[in-house]
Chains A and B, each alone.
Chain A
Amino acid sequence: MSPLDLTTVLKDAPIGEWIALSSDQEHIVATAKNLSDAVKAAKEKGEEHPVVMKVPPVSALIL
């Protein structure tokens, strides 16, 4: 089973912002400073079930 490679989809994502990914998690549908705006923008673009996350700093690990 291959890893879920998020390096490509996050490559140009704005660090520290919320992103809404397509339901297949292949591309970014919307970005925003806060979660609600990201979800709203994604739904306005026709993505009813976006997967949300915040773009992590590339130098930071989750402890």
Chain B
Amino acid sequence: MKFPYAVFPALPDAAFPNRRSVARPIVSVLLQKDGLSLSCYALIDSGADVCTFPASFAAQLGIAIPNPKTYVFSGTADQPQTAYFENVQATIWNRNTSEKPITFDLYAGFCDTLEHVGLGLLGQDGFFSRFKISMDRANTVFEVTPA
């Protein structure tokens, strides 16, 4: 299934004086758990080891955190971060095509440090491990194909 990049507004700054927008490989994701659901966006992030979402998403899905399934990781900040994992069902789709949505089981982490980002990260374990991902940034398109 092919997806378009999403274009976000951006302000020019000293480093990028001509920038007015930023294109990112983002998909719409429906997360489901025991009859509860939440639709959100997630960034296709080859640099992320796992798949994580903001902690507040857990409450919407009826997932109690903290839980014992902890994962401590680091990002660009020097402080360790903790995600709490749970099994959910994820569905990705492109609303502009008639292709059937892709639904898969996902062991997803939920962490406070993604609250300020407000979207999920689909990383190596659970997403890239399951799908062939082809990025075509020049044409602002990427493709997700079951491996």
Contact = CB atoms under 8 A, between A and B. Distances in A.
Contacts of B119: 53-54
B24 interface: yes
Interface in B7-58: 7-11, 13, 21-24, 26, 28, 37-41, 43, 54, 56-57
Contacts of A7: 7-9, 21
Contacts of B9: 6-7, 10-11, 58
A35 B117 contact: no
A25 B2 contact: no
Interface of A: 1-7, 10-11, 16, 18, 23-25, 34-36, 39, 49-56, 58-59, 61-63
A54 to B, nearest CB: 2
A22 to B, nearest CB: 11
Contacts of B59: 35-36
Nearest to B2: A1
A24 B119 CA distance: 18
Contacts of A18: 118
Given A3-B23, A53-B40, A53-B41, A59 B118 contact: no
Contacts of B116: 16, 54
A11 B11 CA distance: 12
Given A3-B4, A3-B23, A18-B118, A58 B40 contact: no
A58 B80 CA distance: 26
Given A1-B141, A3-B6, A50-B39, A36 B56 contact: yes
A6 B41 CA distance: 12
A59 B16 CA distance: 10
A59 B13 contact: yes
B2 A53 contact: no
A10 B41 CA distance: 14
B81 interface: no
B56 A35 contact: yes
